[in-house]
Amino acid sequence: MPTWLVHGFRWPRPLIRIHIILQNLDDAAAEWLMAPATSAALTKNFHKLHPEMMANLLSLRFIEQYDPDDLTTKSQPYAYVCDQVHEVKLGVDVDELRGKGVANDAWSALADLRDKIAPGEKVAWFVVVNGDVERWAPPTVALLEGSSTASQVSPVSRRGSIPEEGEEDNDSDETKRQAKRFKRWFRGGKAKRSKRQERRILTFTLRAAY
């Protein structure tokens, strides 16, 4: 069970969903940022939006916490955006790792990025435990539309995320409907939307988060 000591900030799940929708990131799955396609899409997007910050965050990573024995939690309330990730082994000296510090430029860039995507969150050191790094990732819009990038989605967990034979995926139809709605509203940003429509979209997204 991987355990990490990370330096970064928490990114609340509702804000992750809104960011992915507004940025039209078809290859990103908001529920599991460690999926390779999602990490790549978000990193590329951050480089596009915040090139100066990302120039000082060369080791930026997205880390998720996960308890495979918790069958009642659909997704954790937040992921971690980190500039340092250290796997904790037996007998690790935490003070030694923290004592190495964070470069001033990197710390400032991380704080600026925090202000952009997760205002109010604390930049700090966290211990993150993940019981199944390769857990199943929800389908992305690109996957639902048959994109060639679908093969990059994180592999299915060995802990049984595949439905049994004859069992229907109850979330499948709703996921597809939401994807179509989002695509219709946000496709390329070409369609002009009223403030009322924007509020309705964000309200729908927040409701979906809970």
- pLDDT tens string 61-95: 999 998 777 767 777 899 999 999 998 888 888 88
Helices (H), the chain: 13-22, 36-49, 51-54, 94-99, 104-117, 141-144, 172-186, 195-209
Instruction: Pick the range with the lowest mean pLDDT from 90-99, 109-118, 155-164, 167-176.
Output: 155-164
- Residues sharing a CB contact under 8 Å with residue 140, sequence separation 6 or more, in sequence order: 26, 27, 28, 29, 37, 38, 147, 150, 153
Instruction: Pick the range with the lowest mean pLDDT from 16-30, 54-68, 105-119, 173-187.
Output: 173-187
Tracing tokens 């509702």 back to the chain, one arrives at 14
**CA atoms of 199 and 206, how far apart (whole Å):** 11
Q: What pLDDT was estimated at residue 33?
A: 95
Q: What pLDDT was estimated at residue 158?
A: 36
pLDDT band at 2 (very low <50, low <70, confident <90, very high): confident
Q: What pLDDT was estimated at residue 140?
A: 61
- C-alpha pair distances (Å), 178 with each of 48, 103, 184, 186: 26, 42, 10, 12
pLDDT band at 156 (very low <50, low <70, confident <90, very high): very low
- C-alpha pair distances (Å), 113 with each of 16, 54, 106: 13, 9, 10
pLDDT band at 151 (very low <50, low <70, confident <90, very high): very low
Does the pLDDT at position 147 exceed 80?
Answer: no
Q: What pLDDT was estimated at residue 154?
A: 40
Mean pLDDT over each residue of the chain, to the nearest integer: 76
**CA atoms of 9 and 118, how far apart (whole Å):** 8
**CA atoms of 9 and 121, how far apart (whole Å):** 6
pLDDT band at 183 (very low <50, low <70, confident <90, very high): low
Across residues 128-138, what is the average pLDDT?
A: 69
Q: Greater confidence, 173 or 125? A: 125
- Residues sharing a CB contact under 8 Å with residue 87, sequence separation 6 or more, in sequence order: 2, 3, 4
Does the pLDDT at position 167 exceed 50?
Answer: no
Q: What pLDDT was estimated at residue 125?
A: 94
**CA atoms of 171 and 178, how far apart (whole Å):** 10
Across residues 108-118, what is the average pLDDT?
A: 97
Q: Greater confidence, 137 or 124? A: 124
